[in-house]
Amino acid sequence: MTLLGQNVDSYRWVNPDTQEPVDFADLIELVAQINPDLRVRFSTSHPKDITDKVLHNMAANENICEYIHLPVQSGNSEVLQHMNRTYDRDWYIQKVKRIYEIMPHCAISSDMIAGFCGETEEQHQDTLSIMEIAQYSMSYMFYYSERPNTLAHRKYEDDVPLDVKKRRLSEIIRLQNQISYEHNRREVGRYHKVLIEKVSKKSDDDLA
């Protein structure tokens, strides 16, 4: 079961019978307790809202998958401010460190945008360095492309040349591939309980 929302951690509900508030940390635990064989995931988390209570409840319930999608977009605080994100580089890094403190083997994924309006080479290097720090298992990676009626479209000039965007994106992809490879290499020889969903479309000898 996947609990899905634009920002799932903001979930709030008040039980009309007991008037007890239920937050997202309570919700994932209640879902996990339905059946120990139920695998529970959620997406997407906004860095500002994921709490220690969520992390502790994930760690305490074996059937809540230790995976968090935590989009960063950029590793530079000034670019994050221009993107209208509500956190800066240092705050995000501390959130990642807290996840690993509570769940050392948690897989974290992210979103990356290369070549946002006004991004300098130094700011791009900040994105590469935050990837090294966060050690993402995987990322969704794109170069910036202007979208009508967005804040960036209204406020900023799309001034990073396309060839620069593509080169920066290729550097992000190359680094993520290296980090992902190291994650996978460390799993060699380990055993995991997995959920088999179906026979592979490509081969009857493989399972998805």
Do residue 82 and residue 175 come from a single domain? yes
Do residue 128 and residue 180 come from a single domain? yes
Is 193 inside a domain boundary? Answer: no
Tokens of 79: 């670019």
Contacts of 53 (CB under 8 A, 6+ apart): 23, 25
- Tell me the per-residue pLDDT of 91-108, one tens digit each, with 9 for 90 and over: 999 999 999 999 999 999
pTM for the whole structure? 0.89
Tokens of 151: 């804040």
Residue span of the structural domain in which 148 resides: 71-105+112-187
Return the DSSP state at 12: E
- Tell me the per-residue pLDDT of 11-45, one tens digit each, with 9 for 90 and over: 999 989 999 999 999 999 999 999 999 999 998 88
Total of domains in the chain: 2
- The percentage of residues in the chain with a pLDDT greater than 90, rounded to a whole number, is 84
